Structure 1
Amino acid sequence: MPLRILLVEDEPDLAESLVAVLEQQGHVVDHCSDGLSAWTLLSGDLARYELALVDWMVPQLSGVELCRRLRAAGFTVPVLLLTARDGTADRVEGLDAGADDYLSKPFAMEELLARVRALQRRHPGYREPQLQVGSYSLDPSRSELTVQAPTGAVRVPLSAKELQLLTYFMEHSGDILSGSRLRNQLWDLHQDPVSNVVAAQVRLLRRKLADHGLPSPITTVPSRGYRFDADATGSALQPS
């Protein structure tokens, strides 16, 4: 299941690498380089983060102080603390401050992803990798959608963004999702708020399904947004 992640890291090269690796796994990542900005994002309503990767030594508000502030305010977002301070006393201090896990620098990206998966499994909204809605089956581990069509199973390979979009739609099947809600959940905070990025991505996904001979389960609700309808039988290329 893709997560919305806040990365708090002030080393530009490391931050860039982490964002790239996490986005390759289908996650949506926002990045900030200081603790005060992270506190504003994690405690605000603009985005609902499901995981925070926090460096201990970021400026303005340290990672440990950020953890303490979050827990004191009652926020339960899982926090993975990243730091070069790897002594036992440091690990104890970080965990006592409210961090859920601790990863010492330097670390292998494979271990970071394993820690993310472990924290993901603890999340109340965690789902098994396979997501099934009607005749639509989504396999995030393979980035593939399988549709049981009258002529047999049709498999559709998905890009990272298509996987994110379909996962969110299928997890909220039947709900009307506004463009602004989709943009806030699935695109980073620097995306132009008046951009047509959501409509463009929906249009591309519909075209891909049409290329495989499939109708689109994503229907447009005029003036309100979109809805995932597993029983849809209309054209895949309906207006966005």
Structure 2
Amino acid sequence: MTVVIFAGPTLSAEEGRRELDAVYLPPAAQGDLYRAALGKPVAIGLIDGYFERVPSVSHKEILWAMTQGVHVFGAASMGALRAAELAAFGMEGVGAIYEAFASGALEDDDEVAVVHAGAEDGYRPLSEAMVNIRATLQAAERAGVLGPEARHTLEQLAKGLFHADRSWHRLLKQGQEAGLDAAGLEACRRFVAERRVDAKRLDGLRLLHTLRAKLEAGLPPKQTRYSFSHTDSWEHIRRKAEATLPARTEE
């Protein structure tokens, strides 16, 4: 049974394959999930997807995939967002980040957005995700490295940064400029170097573990209860996606 996973900066394909035998594809853009679903995989795992300059994975292609019997799971990044938005229709969310969006504790896309390098450099992250900053600062507070006020101030400073500019170096520098205790900031710097929490990676791995368990238990075709509407916008997405498929040869 084929499983397709869209992952990039959150998890590398090499790391993913150690957890789950699947087809690993780059971060998903609009139309990619539709094209993957045409191959009738038993499941698709959406972890990473594009946010800004490239059109994002559409809700309609996920809904269409599920009507074709394909289970669609989401976690960590774009997958967590789409899973929270489509949970009522049967998309299956996994992990703490998904749960935070589903409950309304998190609302903004920029919580999971990062900039990253290209395929030739393994989609290496070039900024830090807000959810990772929150998780690490909370861990530092639990460890007694930061007090509640310092943790809250650093969270607010990080949230005020444009997502592409978020980094620990920039954040701790802003903390210094805001007058936070120098010794506390140095302790925080050491904590980040040694014990940084990568919440997105943890949730991505959890998605793979969840899928593996479900496959081992037996995963029948997805059943849906909604009626899929072939709207003009959907037909535009579908035609555009199909235009990039390899040409079929006559035999």
After TM superposition, the score normalised by the length of structure 2 is 0.36
The structure whose residues are more often helix, as a share, is 2
More strand as a share of residues: 1
In the superposition, the TM-score normalised over structure 1's length comes to: 0.37
